[in-house]
A and B are shown apart, each in its own frame.
Chain A
């Protein structure tokens, strides 16, 4: 898995549940749960390898230069602390501000994410806020120290459709204001089309396709990407949605060749024995497929 994102750019990572999107993001933050670790590789932030740093140095980066917006705003906030205190904590930690100025920054961050009545909401506990407001608070927490990179892990999955659109627009606006790079993790192709500059499609822990968003939607190369797009409802009614037969194999029991081969309509004998390399059949458009690659 390799990915690069530039300042001001939005990179989307797409894939089914369980294909390793969240794990990839956590690995970037060095927050993998116990039992999981990065076997090999580097994570560079402005040229500095995060994986090689001692834990205390990584703690200095987390929440200040690289921040994460989590998937479940219901559980991602501490239930016994006010949201203001939780945001102010991040300010105090990285900018050495005292109680009052840190609190003022927290209220300012809530204003930035368009929280209605931010001064009052800062004193609220998470259970007193709606789902959309909680997600705004989570985003405010991630943005408050103006990070260079924002990892947004399915930031809208837990929200109503109308709120989803607002939150996505908000992330886009804030990105423009702050000039941060955004890595957006999602399984929703609609979200990708609206917000991303570039897209990485993941399958079973690996990158199978990478392209600019227009290139990918106009001419997807990998059979898995094509399957994903066929599975998006287009509102024309009547026709049954196409699906991809089978399920993602568990990462502990991957087939020897292409991981998608068992579900792939194009799979030949080579696909079942040899893993396809990532090739670049069109400029800026890469794919890992024996049938579609260069």
Chain B
């Protein structure tokens, strides 16, 4: 298990290098001259040419890629063109908020998706099943930004229960404070988190619930479920210990893959709820054509996604004894 984990972590290096090349290549293809962007429309041509030289933009592409690699190895993602800060610093300051939102959404989506899927499978063909699958259909087809606006309108504007935009204290600090007997901070942080997390979770919850339902229906027909019942076990135990544990195996890998879609959804959700994370930063960076920043963000997203899927693979092996990690 340990050897496998280390090998998988080492594999991230060539994967990361591939990601770097791809993001670098994409930005080469995007039209627009960063030097001209930085200096504005009125800038004289000589000034632009001088800036291009000093930024190294006139060098051939392989030289620039090589330089980028060398810098990355030292943890340097370059300087942002418009905020006079290193890209790595900017991203690091925002990463926590996005991870917090994505993890909250993933937990919420799993909880909703799994319970709906199980209930629907247990009552296949009943009105509960129909209702759950209607919900799933809605969740899959409703765009994140639309749902986000509806939630904001309903719960923040009309009912006034939750704040519409912004973020409370980081969850780590809030949890720490709550542990030391000061829960107000946690309540506040959660009140900010609920709406964006829910908006972001809905799509994944819908996908997961359909998957769990199908998987449960299949597993409930398995012989070992009948064996469990023949032992006289009570129904809840048969369903949870025997059926659900097996039904979740295929769902687990899908949850990992959904995390990618979740990061994409986070870009929209964060913009709508003014959540100060990487997604919001992405939109700002793109509209400003802050190329080093875009490059850094995309690379960060890719690495987070790869790490999450590594965790899912390890989890899979922990849950299914038939998977041998050789």
Which A residues fall within an 8 A CB radius of B? 29, 31, 33, 56, 59-64, 67-68, 70, 72, 75-81, 86, 89-90, 93-94, 125, 127, 138, 141-142
Given the known interface contacts A125-B321, A127-B321, A127-B322, the answer about A77 and B232 at a Cβ–Cβ threshold of 8 Å is: no
- Per-residue CB proximity of B224-265 to A under 8 Å, as 1/0? 101111111110000001100110010000000000000000
A99 to chain B, nearest CB (A): 14
Interface string of B106-139 (1 = CB under 8 A from A): 0000000000000000000000000000000000
Question: Which chain B residues border A93 with CB–CB below 8 Å?
Answer: 231-234
Q: Given A33-B221, A61-B232, A75-B223, 9 more contacts at CB 8 Å?
A: A29-B230, A59-B232, A62-B230, A64-B232, A67-B230, A78-B246, A80-B322, A89-B228, A141-B227
Given A80-B319, A125-B322, A127-B321, residue A89 in contact with residue B231 (CB < 8 A): yes
Known contacts A125-B321, A125-B322, A127-B321; decide if A77 and B227 are in contact (CB<8 Å): yes
Q: A59 near B246 (CB under 8 angstroms)?
A: no
Q: Which chain B residues lie closer than 8 Å to A79 at the CB level?
A: 224, 246, 320-322
Contact at A59–B234, with CB atoms within 8 Å? Answer: yes
Known: A80-B320, A125-B321, A127-B321. Contact between A59 and B223, CB under 8 A? no
Which residue from chain B places its CB closest to the CB of A62 in the assembled complex? Answer: B232
Say if the beta carbon of B222 comes within 8 Å of chain A. Answer: yes
With A and B bound together, what is the CA distance between A241 and B307 in angstroms?
A: 64
> A68 touches which one: B224, B230, B234 (CB < 8 A)?
B230
Interface residue from B224, B319, B321 paired with A76 (Cβ < 8 Å): B224
Beta-carbon contact of B230 and A31 below 8 Å: yes
CB distance from A108 to the nearest CB of B (A): 17
| Closest chain B residue, CB of each to CB of A72 | B223
Chain A residues with Cβ below 8 Å from B242 are: 78, 81
Question: Can you give 23 contacting A-B residue pairs, CB < 8 Å?
Answer: A59-B233, A62-B229, A62-B230, A62-B231, A63-B230, A63-B231, A63-B233, A67-B230, A70-B227, A72-B223, A75-B222, A76-B223, A76-B224, A76-B227, A79-B320, A80-B245, A80-B321, A89-B233, A93-B231, A93-B233, A93-B234, A141-B227, A141-B231
Question: In the complex, what residues of A have CB within 8 A of residue B224's CB?
Answer: 75-79
Give the contact-size bracket for chain B.
20 to 34
Nearest B residue to A59, CB-CB: B232
Give bound CA distance, A89 to B231, whole Å.
8
Specify the chain A residue showing the minimal Cβ separation from B243. Answer: A78
Neighbour of A70 across the interface among B223, B233, B241, B319, CB < 8 A: B223
Find out whether the CB atom of A78 lies under 8 angstroms from the CB atom of B228: yes
Q: Which residue of A lies closest to B242 (CB)?
A: A78
In whole Å, how far is A262's beta carbon from the nearest beta carbon of chain B?
Answer: 33
Contact partners of A62 in chain B: CB under 8 A: 229-232
Chain A, residue nearest B245 (CB): A80
Q: A75-B224, A76-B224, A78-B224 are in contact. Are A31 and B229 (CB under 8 A)?
A: yes
Q: B248: nearest residue on chain A (CB-CB)?
A: A80
Closest residue to A141 on the B side, CB-wise? B231
How long is the Cα–Cα vector from A127 to B324 in the complex, in angstroms?
Answer: 12
Residues of A within 8 A of B322 (CB): 79-80, 125, 127
Q: Smallest CB–CB gap between A37 and chain B, Å?
A: 16
- Closest partner residue, chain B, to A142 (CB atom): B230
Q: How far in angstroms is the closest Cβ of chain A from B198?
A: 32
Shortest Cβ distance from residue A154 to the other chain B in the assembled complex, whole angstroms? 13
Given A78-B242, A80-B319, A80-B320: A60 and B227 within 8 A (CB)? no
Which residues of B, 162-202, contact A by the 8 Å Cβ criterion? none
Find chain A residues with CB under 8 A from B320 CB: 79-80
Q: How far is the CA of A233 from the CA of B74 in the complex (A)?
A: 79
Task: Give CA–CA (A76, B223) in the complex, Å.
Answer: 5
Complex Cα distance A81/B233, Å? 15
Q: Which residues of B contact A64 (CB under 8 A)?
A: 232
A142 to chain B, nearest CB (A): 8
Tell me which residues across on chain A come within 8 A of B232, comparing CB atoms.
59-64, 90, 93-94
Question: Chain B residues near A94 (CB, 8 Å)?
Answer: 232
CB pair A80 B230 closer than 8 Å: no
Give chain B residues whose Cβ lies under 8 Å from the Cβ of A76: 223-224, 226-227
Closest B residue to A58 by CB, please name it: B232
Complexed CA–CA distance, A94 and B246 (Å):
24
For B319, the chain A residues whose CB sits under 8 A away are: 80
- Provide the residues of chain A in CB contact with B249, threshold 8 Å: 80
Nearest residue, chain B, Cβ from A91: B231
- For A59, the chain B residues whose CB sits under 8 A away are 232-234
The interface residues of chain A lying within 8 Å CB-to-CB of B226 are: 31, 70, 76
Q: Given the complex, which residues of A lie within 8 Å of B229, measured CB to CB?
A: 31, 62
B231 near A90 (CB under 8 angstroms)?
yes
Query: Which residues from chain A contact B245 at a C-beta distance below 8 Å?
Result: 78, 80-81
CA distance A61 to B230 in the complex (A): 9
How far is the CB of B46 from the nearest CB of chain A, in Å? 70
8 smallest CB-CB distances across A and B, nearest first, come from: A63-B232, A62-B232, A63-B231, A75-B223, A90-B231, A78-B224, A125-B321, A76-B223
Q: What is the CB-to-nearest-CB distance from B232 to chain A, in angstroms, rounded to a whole number?
A: 4
Q: B321 — which chain A residues lie within 8 A by C-beta?
A: 79-80, 125, 127
Q: What residue in chain A is nearest B324 (Cβ atoms)?
A: A127
Nearest to B229 among chain A residues (CB) is A31
Most chain B CB within 10 A, of A61, A89, A127, is at A89
List of B residues within 8 angstroms of A141 by Cβ: 227, 231
CB distance from B220 to the nearest CB of A (A): 9
